[in-house]
């Protein structure tokens, strides 16, 4: 270790240059990880908040279920009659509205039964009530956009007026903030013809899905066969959110390439560094240093450079996250950051493996002779 530190000090310029590259790679990996998590949260946080185990869609909806699936009262009642299952309707759609203070917003309308296990409750204001079908509870993103408790939100092209009664936590769907409202009101928004008054129509009793709380003994497969539905776990339903699968694939691919770049960069540097100091290594072998000691010497240098670079890169990514986190979907929890940097360190050290054979195969007599 002492020799490793001496070499780091003597060749500090080269090691600082290499460390700077590791810092930038680690910071980039951390930033990409933050965007991956942030975009995922911005797409499916509302689905993650659902206190359900499964969602039952129409059997014919194999993809984009929230946009294509419609189930009716027959399926809902059938699920409610199944043993070991608690069921409630769920409606999901995208809408646009304007408040009486001229604040224009896009929102994801989540239709739920007031008082059911899907009811989000409130952080402030009044919760949804079956006696107030025009009431709506908005997420924190809509509050940031300027929507306030007491506002009247008019749905564009339908003339349906919604009274903002409360607010709830952060919740979004497809990068659109969520507003929770009674399922009957959601049906008016979904089925009303633009240009007509949604309040004057009697919409069909259909929903996007039936949300389920299924016990261990519930036979969901038999229920699907009997009710012509297709049941998936809530986690599997994430793929039905707009853009979720494509975004995840893109961001994880970028992360994978960065993880592949890190060992190549570190390995190339230490391969060149090992070749340059072969005479010194041969001298150490001639003085009695074991191969294990030379290996430890090389790995110690690599560990110091890579670990220090990863720590500084993590700090840089965290600072950048705090700067841009309020403007773009960015989320980098401490656990995710630590796991990401640990991976960077591991793959970086793996890159030094290409230098180990050169270290262990140094012939002291040949190298000392060549040095003369």
Instruction: Assess whether pLDDT exceeds 80 at residue 357.
Output: no
pTM attached to this predicted model:
0.81
**Beta strands in the chain, from DSSP E residues, in sequence order:** 54-58, 71-72, 85-99, 104-112, 124-125, 135-138, 152-155, 160-167, 172-173, 176-182, 206-207, 209-214, 229-233
pLDDT on residue 341 = 93
Query: By C-alpha distance, which of 116, 85, 80 is closest to 215?
Result: 85
What are 204-236's pLDDT values in tens digits?
A: 899 999 999 998 889 999 999 999 999 999 999
Distance CA 92, CA 238 (A): 13
Distance CA 325, CA 142 (A): 17
Angle subtended at Cα 93 by Cα 89 and Cα 94, rounded to the nearest 5 degrees: 155
Give the pLDDT band of residue 329 (cuts 50, 70, 90): confident
How many residues are listed for the chain in this entry? 372
pLDDT on residue 267 = 82
Distance CA 141, CA 152 (A): 17
Highest mean pLDDT among 78-92, 294-308, 310-324: 78-92
What are 147-193's pLDDT values in tens digits?
A: 999 999 999 988 899 999 999 999 999 999 999 999 999 999 998 87
Instruction: Assess whether pLDDT exceeds 60 at residue 367.
Output: no
């Amino acid at each position: 270790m002492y020799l490793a530190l001496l070499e780091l000090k003597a060749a500090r310029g080269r090691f600082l240059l290499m460390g700077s590259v590791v810092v930038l790679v680690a910071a980039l990996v951390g930033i990409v990880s933050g965007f991956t998590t942030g975009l995922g949260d911005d797409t499916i946080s509302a689905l993650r908040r659902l206190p359900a185990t499964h969602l039952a869609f129409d059997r014919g909806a194999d993809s984009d279920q929230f946009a294509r699936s419609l189930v009716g009262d027959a399926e809902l009642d059938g699920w409610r009659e199944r043993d070991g299952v608690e069921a409630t309707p769920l409606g999901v759609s995208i809408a646009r509205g304007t408040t009486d203070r001229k604040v224009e917003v896009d929102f994801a309308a989540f239709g739920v039964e007031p008082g059911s296990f899907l009811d989000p409750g409130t952080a402030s204001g009044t919760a949804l009530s079956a006696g107030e079908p025009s009431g709506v509870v908005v997420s924190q993103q809509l509050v940031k956009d300027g929507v306030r408790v007491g506002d009247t939100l008019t749905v564009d092209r339908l003339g349906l007026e919604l009274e903002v009664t409360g607010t709830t936590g952060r919740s979004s769907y497809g990068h659109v903030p969520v507003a929770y409202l009674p399922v009957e009101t959601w049906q008016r928004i979904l089925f009303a013809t633009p240009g007509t008054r949604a309040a004057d129509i009697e919409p069909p009793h259909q929903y996007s899905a039936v949300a389920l709380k299924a016990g261990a003994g519930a036979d969901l497969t038999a229920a699907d066969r009997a009710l012509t539905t297709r049941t998936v776990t809530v986690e599997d339903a994430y793929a039905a959110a707009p853009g979720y699968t494509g975004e995840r694939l893109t961001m994880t691919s970028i992360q994978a390439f960065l993880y592949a770049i890190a060992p190549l960069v570190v390995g190339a540097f230490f391969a060149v560094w090992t070749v340059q100091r072969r005479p010194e290594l041969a001298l150490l072998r001639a003085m009695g240093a074991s191969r294990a000691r030379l290996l430890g010497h090389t790995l110690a240098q690599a560990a110091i450079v890579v670990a220090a670079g990863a720590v500084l890169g993590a700090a840089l990514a965290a600072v950048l996250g705090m700067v841009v986190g309020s403007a773009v979907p960015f989320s980098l929890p401490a656990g995710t950051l630590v796991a990401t940097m640990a991976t960077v360190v591991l793959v970086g050290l793996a890159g030094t493996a290409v230098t180990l054979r050169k270290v262990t195969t140094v012939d002291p007599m040949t190298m000392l002779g060549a040095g003369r």
